[in-house]
């Protein structure tokens, strides 16, 4: 609510792109998401809600949103929760702003590779190859926007194996200072990509900025290769064609922390203005204090601080049926 008041409410002259993770790890995920959905209904061409990795069945069952819905909606909780899961499936994975800014929750994604397949005796000439996304580090290559457009996104949980890996990459990947593309072994899903890949992605698609989110102060606290998330944003890659920015809009995150020492990070949002829309104007803000007392909807003392150590076997990679 503070961010909307500070930035100015959505209008035809003020278009918002929200970058996912509206729920979990706090007491008001339901109200936050409903407020943004209400703005989307009211001004559908002025408010865009991208999907984050927490808009999934697995994360919401671990980090509190499922239980929050059950408590607040009581007997109707299960039905309402299923409606939210269907909503999550339909959220777009990424956006292009003004033709020059790529925005996605995690970041970039792998492309399909052409793999040789066994050719049957009756196979027709020219049909000896098959294409599919690769999960082999030695054959990883950068994906195209056309491949992103064609990716199947209607999954309750983004697959970490199989043929439909692009959604998982877009929602779970992280930047690195090391060159190239590699599997994100720390998270067990998605990719790590270096400055050279940022340059390649910007150059190939005639873009100037990548704006992603996904890493709060707790995640960055475990990474010593990148800047800490103290100010609500970091510039992770500065290359010839432009910049890669990580933007995190939740101040004093997470709301519930097992440790006595809090991160006390600022939140931030970016304003992109004409004529080029490629010069980010950063606005930082602190959490409204004192924070009202609230009830956690998950056991934050036992659940890991960040979502880097995933129980991938618990993910449901199917589609919902209701």
The catalytic residues are: 54
Phi and psi based region of residue 294 (left: phi greater than 0; alpha: psi -120 to 50; beta: remaining): beta
Give, in order, the Cα–Cα distances in Å from 319 to each of 87, 88, 146. 12, 11, 23
Q: For residue 104, what are the β-bridge partners?
A: 94
Separation CA 199–CA 268 (nearest Å):
25
Q: How many helices (H) and strands (E) does the chain have?
A: 9, 14
What's the half-sphere exposure (Cβ side, CA atoms, 13 Å) at 159?
17
57 with 156: CB under 8 angstroms? yes
Separation CA 137–CA 248 (nearest Å):
29
Separation CA 60–CA 29 (nearest Å):
10
Separation CA 212–CA 171 (nearest Å):
9
């Amino acid at each position: 609510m503070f961010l909307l008041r500070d930035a100015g409410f959505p209008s035809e002259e003020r278009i918002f792109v929200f970058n996912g993770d509206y729920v979990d790890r706090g007491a008001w995920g339901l109200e936050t998401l409903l407020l943004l959905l209400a703005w989307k209904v009211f001004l559908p061409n002025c408010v865009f809600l991208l999907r984050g990795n927490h808009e999934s069945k697995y994360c919401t069952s671990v980090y509190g949103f499922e239980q929050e819905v059950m408590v607040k909606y009581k007997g109707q909780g299960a039905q309402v929760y299923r409606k939210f899961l269907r909503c999550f499936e339909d959220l777009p994975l990424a956006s292009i702003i003004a033709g020059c800014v790529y925005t996605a929750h995690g970041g970039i994604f792998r492309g399909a590779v052409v793999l040789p397949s066994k050719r049957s005796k009756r196979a027709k000439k020219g049909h000896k190859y098959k294409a599919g996304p690769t999960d082999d580090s030695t054959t990883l290559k950068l994906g195209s926007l056309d491949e992103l457009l064609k990716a199947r996104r209607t999954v309750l949980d983004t697959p970490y194996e199989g043929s439909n890996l692009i959604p998982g990459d877009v929602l779970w990947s992280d930047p690195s200072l090391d060159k190239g593309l590699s599997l994100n072994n720390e998270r067990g899903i998605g990719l790590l990509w270096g400055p050279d890949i940022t340059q390649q992605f910007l150059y190939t698609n005639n873009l100037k900025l990548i704006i992603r989110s996904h890493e709060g102060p707790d995640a960055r606290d475990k990474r010593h290769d990148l800047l800490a998330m103290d100010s609500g944003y970091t510039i992770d890659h500065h290359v010839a064609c432009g910049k890669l920015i990580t933007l995190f809009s939740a101040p004093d995150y997470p709301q519930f922390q097992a440790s006595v020492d809090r991160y006390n990070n600022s939140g931030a949002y970016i304003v992109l203005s004409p004529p080029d829309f490629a010069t980010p104007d950063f606005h930082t803000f602190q959490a409204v204090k004192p924070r009202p007392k609230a009830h956690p909807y998950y056991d934050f003392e036992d659940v890991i601080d960040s979502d880097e150590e995933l129980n991938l076997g618990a993910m449901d990679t199917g589609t919902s049926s209701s």
